Structure 1
Amino acid sequence: MHEVYRLIISPQFGYLGEVYRTPSWPYLALSLGLIVCLYFLLPATLGNISDFIAWILSLVLFIPAIAVPQFTGIAAPELSIIVSLTAGVCGIAIVVLLRFPPSNMVPVFPASFAVVQTAIALISIATYVYLLSVSGLALASPNLDDVYAIRDGYRQTVAESGALIGYLVRLQGNVINPLILIRGLYGGPKWLLAVGLIGQWLIYSITGFKTVLLSGFAIFAIALLFRLYGSLRLSTFIGYFAGFSILALVIDKLTASMFLSTVFIYRTLLMPGTLPSAYFDYFSHREFYKWEDSVISFWSSSSNHNSSLSYLIGQYMTGNSEVSANSHLIADGYGNFGFLGVAIELIVLLLILFALASSARGLPLPVICSLSIAPLFALINSSPITSIISNGFLALIICCAVLPRAGWRYSDQPIYGPTHASPSTSVTF
């Protein structure tokens, strides 16, 4: 992380406030100690969905938020170590508490595949008809220039059409299309794979959200890992994760591009660590935002800020009022209510994850791991409070509760449940 940030990200994205500084070695050693503690608390073998959640959030949220503040120049070293300590405490709390999810928190009422597939078809048709009616369609190519132009157009569409389009996009891109892909992989007709991939490309073409493309890749990667190993180990998972990051750097070097490095390394591994520093630095000497633009701002009768929280920080980092800097619970929680805000968002996140684990009981482990990947990655740049509706967690929990428990052609072994390990067998395609 250190060398990539120093040699690639900071020179390329200095205009976005990404400035390297030499780390304070005692603080860096302390942050590395926190990462080591977090690593040894993680389950060594994937046994249930809670283990998978702990792995993902540690790799793409907590470890970056611990390490990266020590070598970014956004905040002073004395403040950066506070960011790292806060992230470390939150990460350890999540990893430890996820070991004890309440098994019956959410009732499950599995439906037949016919009912589920009919509902998915109706929702998808209605969503695409509405999206195309308000935004039109021009298929995009995956380069950064197109992404920014598409996003500008999408923001204008949301401003003109209202928030409904945003909710539909997240529902379709984070839950429905991944479910179509997953069914195509595990027991359904293979043409569903094409339907799911085309659907994700349509969402990307309308919104410019690269995460919808990443989720498709991640679903196939997870399926391949289960196919190769059956029971996954943390060391194997980290090895593949690191290997793909290195491969992204090599491909970008050979093609004189920054696309893969931007998507897989900057936005996934480094930005979750740089933005908390900006939030802590900005609000270390200013009044907290207090969720003024949220439905929970019941204690404030009027806004004390002339912009949303993410745009305040975006302007603070870049000087450009059009830049949005959404971030995760550590940054967003602190910006809204200091350490109390972090604690509140941590509790909300824990309740969401408990509900997800409970609703998924009885589902094959490859299915629920693949289905949860997009909403989990969305937590990199959004608060848990926002993610309940906007990033599809509520829809995901409902979906898990109604999905059939059998018929996925997983194996002849007992299927996964929340209180016991999944079988060490491969998926039958």
Structure 2
Amino acid sequence: MASHITDDGGRRAAARSCVRAVLLVVLVVAYSLVLRVVYTGLISGPFAYAGYTSVPQAWQDGVASTMLTAIVALLLPRRITCASDVVLWMMLGVCVGPAILMSGYTGYLDPAGAAAFSMLLAVVFSAAALAVRWRRDTGSALSTAPATAADSMLVGSRVVRRETLAWVLCGLYSLGTYGLMAVTTGFQFRLVALDEVYDVRAAYADDLAAGGGLGYLLSGQAYVVNAYVMIRALAKRAWPLFALGVVGQYLLYSTTGFKTVLFSIPAMVVIAVVLRRRRPRSGFPLLFGPVVLMVGSAIVDEAQGGITWTSLFSRRFIVTPGLLTSVYADYFSEHPVALWARSFTRFWVTSPYDTTPTKTIGQYMLPGSNVNANANLFADGYANLGAVGVVVIAAVLAAWLRVLDRWSRGLPVPVVGVLFVMSAVTLSNTSILTAMLSHGLLVATLLVAVMPRGGWGVLSPGEASALGKPERGQARRSFQRRA
């Protein structure tokens, strides 16, 4: 009897696994087709002057890059059980996927070079994902639900409540951000239309030149600290505190003109809802989201007779990271690598360039300009050390994700998703070091280490949502062994 139950359960599990794999491949194919149509049909023409070029691609090469992306997707965790799973799936959708798929039709790399570079990206990203999961502890030590997890921790010789530590961290960070803003740019609380943000942004850049420290704090405030204030207030139904978080977020937007600060609020809401309602939770919706974003933006633009929303969302968050990866690969395969001489090695390494890699590429794409062509973490690695640099960055990414998994144990999945959605997206257009220091990754990592595991209310759908929980397959195997 026990053997029959085991065999029958194993066949059903294998069938479900096969169906999920097929659906995931279909999704990757749809993603690839939508990305190509949006780029070549809607973006390349109007933005060709800025380097958004396109060339015909042999169908065999297109199929190969799509299948390569599908293999990467199949190697990612099937279910989201740890914080790293959220980050990896998001990176595939807005960073790695576009970089692999677009390299063959942007015109910057020849077919052989595009295939080789796509393979390099696929291999190192997959290796990083597998390294994060290697010997990852998913046993009983991780099975504590958020509602019952210890909400105190030892600091020196004293036991301190996590709630207190989290609010102290957020309070000190907010004091630094808004205090520096008060003496640098002033508070500009006003209604700012989306077509007015460039004037606001220019004024902010001028003010920031006198006190650049604000630039290191602002993204962490917007994407992490204010996000924590809002979701904790929502969980506790502390509506005045929730309103304070929203006001703080809008104040940052109206002062800086950064649209991503404003759009981060709906992005966080969507991530929280998607991660909370998926049972079993998978990475499928995190890859499906970019497809919906591209199609939805194109439909709205078609109805309005413009390209505003496609430019704002598809071009900004998905297409540009893929395009610039090809540009970086093209330029730095023919020119000296930068050796991080404008970053942490500047004290003992002399740069072969007069500017940073981002400005070098900006001038390459738009001669005579002063554009910062910020690319993703892997493009930055290639710019600084070639193919070896891509491997180094993948290793750094894997190491950080393992630390993140360890420090975020017991937290509800939607909570971590909200805190890392925007910071993880920044990895698609900046280096990992810059993302850590200037875009909130470091403060988010520190915050999840100290924040309370319990009391998350609607954001904690139950014991199965705790990060680090055993997957369903593990529980089934345990039952079968007992049978």
- 1:418 corresponds to 2:452: no
Runs of 4+ with >4 A deviation: 101-104, 107-110
Q: Could you tell me whether the CA contact under 8 Å between 2:362 and 2:370 is conserved in 1? A: yes
Q: Could you tell me whether the CA contact under 8 Å between 2:376 and 2:431 is conserved in 1? A: yes
- 1:394 corresponds to 2:442: yes
Residue type matched to 2:72 in 1? L
Deviations 1:156-185 (CA, angstroms, capped at 9, x unpaired)? 2332223x1111112211211111122133
Q: How many residues are treated as equivalent by the alignment?
A: 418
Residue type matched to 1:324 in 2? N
How far residue 276 of structure 1 moved from its aligned partner, in angstroms, is 1.1
Q: Could you tell me whether the CA contact under 8 Å between 1:108 and 1:359 is conserved in 2? A: no
How far residue 10 of structure 1 moved from its aligned partner, in angstroms, is 0.6
User: Quick one: structure 1 residues 233 and 303, their matched pair in 2 at CA, closer, same or farther if it must change by over 3 Å?
Assistant: closer
How far residue 225 of structure 1 moved from its aligned partner, in angstroms, is 2.1
Q: 1:172 aligns with which of 203, 221, 238?
A: 221
TM-score, length basis structure 2: 0.80
How far residue 419 of structure 1 moved from its aligned partner, in angstroms, is 5.3
CA distance in 2, matches of 1:366, 1:173: 18
User: Quick one: structure 1 residues 46 and 2, their matched pair in 2 at CA, closer, same or farther if it must change by over 3 Å?
Assistant: same
How far residue 347 of structure 1 moved from its aligned partner, in angstroms, is 1.3
User: Quick one: structure 1 residues 310 and 108, their matched pair in 2 at CA, closer, same or farther if it must change by over 3 Å?
Assistant: farther
User: Quick one: structure 1 residues 193 and 244, their matched pair in 2 at CA, closer, same or farther if it must change by over 3 Å?
Assistant: farther
Q: 1:317 aligns with which of 365, 378, 397?
A: 365
Aligned to 1:247: 296
* 3-state SS of paired residue (1:44): coil
User: Quick one: structure 1 residues 254 and 34, their matched pair in 2 at CA, closer, same or farther if it must change by over 3 Å?
Assistant: same
| Larger CA Rg, structure 1 vs 2 | 2
* 3-state SS of paired residue (2:52): coil
Q: 2:338 aligns with which of 255, 280, 289?
A: 289
Root mean square deviation, CA, Å: 2.6
Q: Could you tell me whether the CA contact under 8 Å between 1:245 and 1:265 is conserved in 2? A: yes
* Greater Cα shift, 60-69 or 43-52: 43-52
CA distance in 2, matches of 1:197, 1:255: 30
> Which segments of 5 or more consecutive residues in structure 1 lack a partner in the other structure?
423-429
CA distance in 1, matches of 2:245, 2:447: 17
CA distance in 2, matches of 1:159, 1:255: 38
User: Quick one: structure 1 residues 305 and 7, their matched pair in 2 at CA, closer, same or farther if it must change by over 3 Å?
Assistant: same
Aligned to 2:274: 225
Residue type matched to 2:397 in 1? L
Aligned to 2:105: 71
Q: Could you tell me whether the CA contact under 8 Å between 1:51 and 1:98 is conserved in 2? A: no
Aligned to 2:180: 130
Q: Could you tell me whether the CA contact under 8 Å between 2:184 and 2:210 is conserved in 1? A: no
Deviations 1:117-141 (CA, angstroms, capped at 9, x unpaired)? 3542453244213213211344353
Q: Could you tell me whether the CA contact under 8 Å between 2:275 and 2:417 is conserved in 1? A: no
* Greater Cα shift, 149-158 or 79-88: 149-158
CA distance in 2, matches of 1:31, 1:314: 27
1:80-99 aligned at under 5 Å gives the runs 80-99=114-133
CA distance in 2, matches of 1:358, 1:331: 28
TM-score, length basis structure 1: 0.89
* Greater Cα shift, 329-338 or 201-210: 201-210
- 1:147 corresponds to 2:147: no
User: Quick one: structure 1 residues 257 and 147, their matched pair in 2 at CA, closer, same or farther if it must change by over 3 Å?
Assistant: farther
Residue type matched to 1:211 in 2? T
Q: Could you tell me whether the CA contact under 8 Å between 2:69 and 2:97 is conserved in 1? A: yes
CA distance in 2, matches of 1:243, 1:57: 16
User: Quick one: structure 1 residues 204 and 217, their matched pair in 2 at CA, closer, same or farther if it must change by over 3 Å?
Assistant: same
- 1:377 corresponds to 2:411: no
User: Quick one: structure 1 residues 173 and 250, their matched pair in 2 at CA, closer, same or farther if it must change by over 3 Å?
Assistant: same
CA distance in 1, matches of 2:301, 2:247: 25
User: Quick one: structure 1 residues 303 and 53, their matched pair in 2 at CA, closer, same or farther if it must change by over 3 Å?
Assistant: closer
* Greater Cα shift, 49-58 or 194-203: 194-203
Q: Could you tell me whether the CA contact under 8 Å between 2:125 and 2:394 is conserved in 1? A: no
Aligned to 1:354: 402
Deviations 1:36-60 (CA, angstroms, capped at 9, x unpaired)? 1012222333222222122111111
